[in-house]
Structure 1
Amino acid sequence: MIRVLLADDEVMIRAGVRAILTTDPGIDVVAEAGDGREAVELTLAHRPDVALLDVRMPRLDGLSAGAEIVRAAPEVAVAVLTTFGDDAYLTRALDSGARGFLLKSGDPRELIAGVHAVAAGGAYLAPKPAARVIGRLRSAGLDRAVTARARIGLLTERERDVLTLLGTGLSNAQIAKRLNVTEGTVKGHVSAILTRLDLGNRVQAAVLAHEAGLIAP
């Protein structure tokens, strides 16, 4: 069962998101918050698997709340939910350690898929912002590709294998199954990759994998 904390200052929106999530028997909304500060407090109290945070909230916005949660409870996967697909929000969300970026205007199935993905240790970007990210990578030119390839040259062959699979959105368990190793081994490789390449989270690692050409277009 995936335990979710839901934070949004609009009661009707919160009710709608909760209704969508609870159509999945594998998801349980264990707490709800009406602002960012309350979201942090309830996350620390309930320790859910996923904290699903609206971006614009009083007292503390969702991106700042997410950053606090990542620092205080790194085992909780943070995903942000917003009406705005603005790239500035996306960049701030990823820099703060969020593993998911979801749009309120998206298909309800995307919301459920995103919660499952981040709870399993993966990352999830809603299709529209994901397409923009990939578009920027394609248009970034040769210089970024050369730089990215030089960076991944620091990795071992097995770490490059893990980075490639991570870049396709697979969770640690899925990567372990694909490589026929234990999940703990994969966690160790992911940690080594993030440390060696000075990356903040899995999403940044996935972006680097695309830049380096490890992932087929």
Structure 2
Amino acid sequence: MKTLFLPLLICVTANTICFGQSNSLQSKFLIDSLATIQKRVEQSIIPSRYMAQKYILETDTIKGWENIKVTLYEYSVDNGKKIGKVYMANADAEKLATWIITTCVTLTNKLDKKNTDFLIKSIRNASGGQFPVKGIVYENMDGKGYYPYVFKDGVTVFLKQTTTDNLSLITNGNIKKTGKYARIISTTREEFNNKFPSKNTRGIEWLNIVREEYKFALQSDTNNLLIAWANGKIK
């Protein structure tokens, strides 16, 4: 896969983004390199999706996710000792590869293997490309055992009335605190605001931002949550 450099066009002001140039590069790399990146995603990210075990149902009626296909899975960890259920909106390998390519082009105007490798590894380590819409995510964060984390709209949440199995309790009205990191690559509020400063990410609004950005990403070639995280990390 070749690295392509294209001189920056002269814009009206120093802060103007040359969208035509960026879109042209994205189109080129999506044609030339999508199959290659997709294969690497299939080999590295997809096998790490440990929660996509027992399919239960698919729905497009989850509140806030209407008309988006969301899949409910049941899965086990710790040799079957712990069982969780979670609704997920997982992007397929082609979509993940597309986001990786457009993130690189948007931020660097090129497509380097070191950057695509870095993003693939970071997504795999952060989430396995799994996006929990609502449910229980068991994770072994410190190597001392699996702990159940409640997720809503791709972010850890802390409930007033806690649960490990009653997903109906995972509602905005039952949330007392929201977590810091957003799936699929652990984007923080600060990272998102640095790239998109006009958005309100305080408190529960962070869930709304993550949900709407991810929904948009599922239906487009770009993922702003990925772009915000990678901003300044790839060159």
TM-score > 0.5 by shorter chain? no
Query: Which is richer in strand?
Result: 2
Q: Higher Cα Rg: structure 1 or 2? A: 2
Query: Which is richer in helix?
Result: 1
Q: Which has the higher contact order (CA 8 A, sep 6+)?
A: 2
TM-score when scaled to structure 2? 0.27
TM-score when scaled to structure 1? 0.29
